[in-house]
Amino acid sequence: MGEDGRVTAAPKHPRAPRLIATDLDGTLLRDDKTVSDRTVAALAAAEAAGIEVFFVTGRPARWMDVVSAHVHGHGLAICANGAAVVDLHAGRKIIEVRPLDRPVALDVVRALRAAVPGTSFAVELTTGINYEPAYPPFFLDPGATVAVAEKLLHEEHSTAPVLKLLAHHAELAPDAFLDLAREAAGQHASITRSSPTALLEISGPGVSKASTLAMCCAERGISADEVVAFGDMPNDIEMLTWAGTSYAMGNAHADVIAAASGRTVANTEDGVAVVIERMLAEREG
């Protein structure tokens, strides 16, 4: 985005866009977690023009109600930072899982307990989330089991696939916590963050928004240079780097701005819609 606040165009690519991949929180959604009328219209116009839209988010499937009313076309979403592919037309049914193996999750827990004292954990399963007593409670999930991570990860507690492990620290700065965690446990799993607080999201090795999006695109015969992606936080960086054209939101983390090929205005200013509208206008022109 230039000094005058206009959208910075991403470099031209040899193929017309066939798929839009957009993050939700801080990107497509406004700060009140709603989708503006302008954005709803832009998404519908994109699909009417033959461009598929994928919602690609760190959210679990059960938290996708924020966009359920705005699903067109295929209705697929990539959730939990790439750990699950979800059919939004079928009641948010998980149709593919890329799990975090329980022994690997336990290795991460042990490594972070030793390297970063004060870390507390939550375990996101395909069936819901459970967390430790010291972990900030999930008020959207009142039925969660509360126990130490080692117990939560034991198969006697649940055999449901683990989508991701969450790690929270009450005192560290978010980026400092991410750096420490990657140094201590990055050899075991993929570690990223999307929260403004010191909350990390830990997936299986190689699992990310980008790798699952690439898999879904390959199944459809769509190449990276036919994808336009939007994001605002570190968990979007791989996706923005992979996509042929990518935009950091005006409110994005500095590392995201550096990774994207273009920049749009903030989520509160309908930054995704602004780009889609211009993209469709250029196609018609």
Q: Find, among 81, 110, 25, 113, the residue nearest to 201 by Cα.
A: 81
| Band (9; pLDDT cuts 50, 70, 90) | low
Largest CA distance in the chain: 61
Give how far the C-alpha of residue 176 lies from the chain's centroid of Cα atoms, to the nearest Å: 20
pLDDT above 60 for 114: yes
159 C-beta neighbours (distance < 10 Å), count: 9
pLDDT in tens, 172-188: 999 999 999 999 999 99
* CA–CA separation, 155 and 161 (whole Å): 10
pLDDT above 50 for 160: yes
User: Residue type for 235, please?
Assistant: N
What pLDDT sits at residue 89?
81
CATH (residue range 19-98+208-284): 3.40.50.1000
| Band (111; pLDDT cuts 50, 70, 90) | very high
The model's pTM is 0.92
pLDDT above 90 for 68: no
pLDDT above 90 for 213: yes
- 3-state DSSP assignment of residue 74: coil
Count of alpha carbons within 13 angstroms of residue 104, beta-carbon side? 19
For the chain, the structural domain boundaries read: 19-98+208-284, 102-203
102-203 has CATH 3.40.50.300 classification:
no
What value does the mean pLDDT take over residues 158-169? 94
pLDDT above 80 for 16: yes
User: Residue type for 43, please?
Assistant: L
What pLDDT sits at residue 3?
44
pLDDT in tens, 227-281: 999 999 999 999 999 999 999 999 999 999 999 999 999 999 999 999 999 999 9
pLDDT above 50 for 14: no
